[in-house]
A and B are shown apart, each in its own frame.
Chain A
Amino acid sequence: MLRRLFILAFILLHVAAYAQTEKEIIDMVGKASAEMKSLECDFVQTKHLKILNDKMVSKGKMYYMQPGRLRWEYTYPYTYTFILNDSQVLLKNSTRSDVIDVNQNRIFKEIARLMMNSILGNCLTDEKSFQTDIETKGQEWIATLVPLKKDMKQMWTKLVLHFDSVKKSVVMVEMHEKTGDYTEIRLDNIKINRQIAESTFSIQ
Chain B
Amino acid sequence: MSRILTYIAVLLCFITITEPGRASESAGMSRRYAVRIDIRNAYISGVCIMHSDNDRTLSSIVNEFGVSALTFSYDERNRKVKIINILKQMNKAYIRKVLKSDLKKILPELRDYTAEGSYIYRNPRIDIQYSFTPLSLE
- The chain A residues found within 8 Å of chain B, CB to CB, are 45, 47, 49-54, 56, 58, 74, 76-78, 80, 82, 93, 95-96, 100, 105, 107-108, 111, 114-115, 152, 154-156, 175, 177, 179-181, 183
**A179-B23 CB under 8 A given contacts A52-B51, A56-B66:** no
**A51-B19 CB under 8 A given contacts A77-B135, A77-B136, A183-B66:** yes
B25: Cβ under 8 A from any A Cβ? yes
Partner of B88, one of A52, A82, A154, A180: A154
Contact of B64 with A80 in the complex, beta carbons under 8 Å: yes
Interface residues of B in 35-50 (CB under 8 A from A): 36, 43, 45, 47, 49
Q: In the complex, how many residue pairs between chain A and chain B have their CB atoms under 8 Å apart?
A: 103
Which residues of the partner chain B approach A76 to less than 8 Å between Cβ atoms? 138
Contact of B84 with A53 in the complex, beta carbons under 8 Å: no
B103: Cβ under 8 A from any A Cβ? no
B17: Cβ under 8 A from any A Cβ? yes
Please name the 10 residue pairs, one residue from A and one from B, whose CB atoms are nearest each other, closest first: A47-B66, A53-B23, A183-B66, A80-B64, A179-B18, A177-B16, A179-B20, A155-B14, A51-B18, A77-B135
**How far does the alpha carbon of A78 sit from the alpha carbon of B14 in the complex, in Å?**
19
**How far does the alpha carbon of A156 sit from the alpha carbon of B85 in the complex, in Å?**
16
Q: Mark B45-86, 1 if CB is under 8 A from A, else 0.
A: 101010100000011101011101001000000000000110
